[in-house]
Chains A and B, each alone.
Chain A
């Protein structure tokens, strides 16, 4: 079967003009280049998502915000770095975002370890971000946000709110200290969670 006759058959079926399919060759080449660039980006991001698990923090889990203080997980004395790690060694951190701070106000976590943040809002929409890292998530009232990250560099970081939440929004931040492995070992045995 001649492919040209197929093309003309499809063209007449669709009611396309002869001119519709005539594109100047430079423009055609540019279209190929442009489409290839976009496809390349999508493929790279797809490989990242499927094989490296580089995904944004999507997590459907609902919770009743006004009674957070009564819940098993987000009661005040349960917040902060959890005493037991998950089976795969991931350290869990539970936080409440409320105007105007992330509670507890100061946490210590180790470098180069999986850290899973679980955050719930007491009031309005907040956003959590630690500058210079990929730790970030929006926090909606009624939803639990979950985001896992690894901190590559020790140091003191602000955990700040990056969604407008009211007149005190500028002041909404807490302190995260990323410890070296040695400091973390000493902290776990000697130090106390503030």
Chain B
């Protein structure tokens, strides 16, 4: 039984997440339309760059952080069978994060923070934007603390027992986020805030980019882990089978935690301020972190195959057809894994050191991360919402068919939109432009693809609207059904050793790896002479 506090906390967090998602989808639609140059009267770099900044912040920071907090509270109480430790702290974290979002939204929507969601100085935004972004992160730390405390309390109360997989993975994510957010927190507190408040005149841009890169890669695993939790724990049951291996799931989460962190420099391959040795080291780590994802693909597909065969599927591929495609969770898992395969291959191209020069900052990059993030991650967020809304509201899902339509259109729209981006990237079109102004024959080849992405955008906007509509209708008009509030228990198939049941050795390993991979790259800015620029407008 889920207690009322958890339900309220989860729903309040989820509505901020999915409200932001719907709003950001509208901005996204405007952007593909503006960028195509089809309608002259909406052409405006000022509006476009304000829109891109808002779209990025809402999707990457607000949707994710609030979804992860809500899902974390739900996972903790249902898998540990205990109420939330210190709900007041949880609500305080919610309030701090929400205040941050509102503070950042004001300059963003007024066009006073058009610095994109990566906010690379020395282009300076209004100080409220930096304060808001910082508060959003600070609020999420309340959640981090609660998750770690609940994990430890449960272990103390259950000596010798194995922490249930959903909570083990959620705690992995809490530790991952604690490590991840340090980079951007340092940049914010010691560089961006004093500089935007006018306390200091100049800013070390090389150091700022290095600290941001610290956060920029592992943050994608912070977003991805909830999707993996659903793939490992909900999908096998929804398909009518069981998880192939509980133990390897734990290994995969730990590998993500350890190797996801010290690899941020694959965002800085093309930068002058870091050495080839550091970049090559981070590149090796980037390929290492592909392992847990390849392992996840295997385990989840194996679990699906076992379920398909149990349902009577025969032959090499017969089990695929035998899967319950009418179940939103199973459908989402299949579509999400397809996107992960495509996006993963693109990611290996990006990761390939010197070869990155061909695609760096081209349209290929948003193509890649829309596949992985909007495709893999968000698709699973949507499926989790369809799974949880009935349990949180005590009502049946408004319409299973509409949910399936929504998931299919999201997949198709994303495929239509990201394919032209990949092609455009290979043809050299930069990301982050509002219109094509290069008077060059080479860029004529870009035009047909620009029209294709409008179609993708339209399908996606419709799909996002449908999603919010289904949730709203479920909550307001769903058929009351008290029997659906229970969450199926996930039982570990075998006891594991303390290596796979606590985080101390792994945190020590990360500390060592982080000192190795970020020690000198950060220290150099304090040892060597740098010339720091003052603030610039835009």
- Do chains A and B stick together as partners? yes
Interface residues of A (CB under 8 A from B): 14-17, 19-20, 23-24, 26-27, 30-31, 34-35, 37-38, 41-42, 45-46, 48-49, 54-66, 123-125, 127, 129-132, 134-146, 155-158, 160-171, 173, 175
Taking A16-B497, A56-B269, A160-B438 as contacts, is the C-beta distance between A38 and B120 under 8 angstroms?
no
What's the minimum C-beta distance from B161 to chain A, rounded to whole angstroms? Answer: 13
Other-chain residue from A38, A49, A131, A145 in contact with B272 (beta carbon distance below 8 A): A145
Interface residues of B (CB under 8 A from A): 45-46, 49, 116, 120, 122-123, 204-206, 209, 244-245, 247-248, 268-276, 279-280, 283-284, 287-288, 290-291, 294-295, 298-299, 302, 348, 352-358, 360-362, 427-443, 494-500, 524, 528-533, 536-538
What's the minimum C-beta distance from A130 to chain B, rounded to whole angstroms? Answer: 8
Taking A15-B497, A62-B528 as contacts, is the C-beta distance between A42 and B284 under 8 angstroms?
yes
What's the minimum C-beta distance from B181 to chain A, rounded to whole angstroms? Answer: 23
Query: Are B272 and A34 within 8 A (Cβ)?
Result: no
What's the minimum C-beta distance from B297 to chain A, rounded to whole angstroms? Answer: 9
- Contact residues in B for A160 (Cβ distance below 8 Å): 430, 438
User: Is the contact region of chain A dominated by helix, strand, or loop, or is it mixed?
Assistant: mixed
What's the minimum C-beta distance from A44 to chain B, rounded to whole angstroms? Answer: 9
Taking A16-B497, A59-B272, A132-B442 as contacts, is the C-beta distance between A38 and B291 under 8 angstroms?
yes
Residue of B nearest to A24 (CB): B245
- Contact residues in B for A23 (Cβ distance below 8 Å): 245, 248
Residue of B nearest to A55 (CB): B276
What's the minimum C-beta distance from B352 to chain A, rounded to whole angstroms? Answer: 6
What's the minimum C-beta distance from A113 to chain B, rounded to whole angstroms? Answer: 19
Taking A132-B427, A163-B120 as contacts, is the C-beta distance between A141 and B205 under 8 angstroms?
yes
Residue of B nearest to A163 (CB): B361
What's the minimum C-beta distance from A119 to chain B, rounded to whole angstroms? Answer: 9
- Contact residues in A for B295 (Cβ distance below 8 Å): 27, 30-31, 34
Q: List 13 A-B contacts (CB under 8 A).
A: A34-B298, A54-B353, A56-B356, A62-B529, A65-B531, A138-B268, A142-B532, A157-B442, A163-B120, A165-B538, A169-B432, A170-B433, A173-B437
What's the minimum C-beta distance from A151 to chain B, rounded to whole angstroms? Answer: 13
- Contact residues in A for B45 (Cβ distance below 8 Å): 167-170
Query: Are A142 and B531 within 8 A (Cβ)?
Result: yes
Residue of A nearest to B427 (CB): A131
- Contact residues in A for B247 (Cβ distance below 8 Å): 19-20
In the assembly, what is the distance between CA of A48 and CA of B353, in Å?
A: 10
- Contact residues in B for A161 (Cβ distance below 8 Å): 430
Beyond known contacts A19-B494, A166-B123: 16 more, CB 8 A cutoff: A27-B302, A34-B291, A34-B294, A37-B294, A45-B355, A56-B356, A125-B123, A125-B205, A129-B360, A142-B205, A144-B272, A158-B439, A158-B442, A166-B538, A167-B45, A173-B437
Taking A166-B538, A169-B432 as contacts, is the C-beta distance between A134 and B357 under 8 angstroms?
yes
In the assembly, what is the distance between CA of A177 and CA of B494, in Å?
A: 66
In the assembly, what is the distance between CA of A59 and CA of B204, in Å?
A: 17
Other-chain residue from A54, A123, A127, A167 in contact with B49 (beta carbon distance below 8 A): A167
In the assembly, what is the distance between CA of A54 and CA of B287, in Å?
A: 18
Query: Are B287 and A38 within 8 A (Cβ)?
Result: yes
- Contact residues in B for A30 (Cβ distance below 8 Å): 294-295, 298
Taking A15-B499, A58-B279, A169-B432 as contacts, is the C-beta distance between A143 and B538 under 8 angstroms?
no
Residue of A nearest to B298 (CB): A30
Query: Are A140 and B499 within 8 A (Cβ)?
Result: no
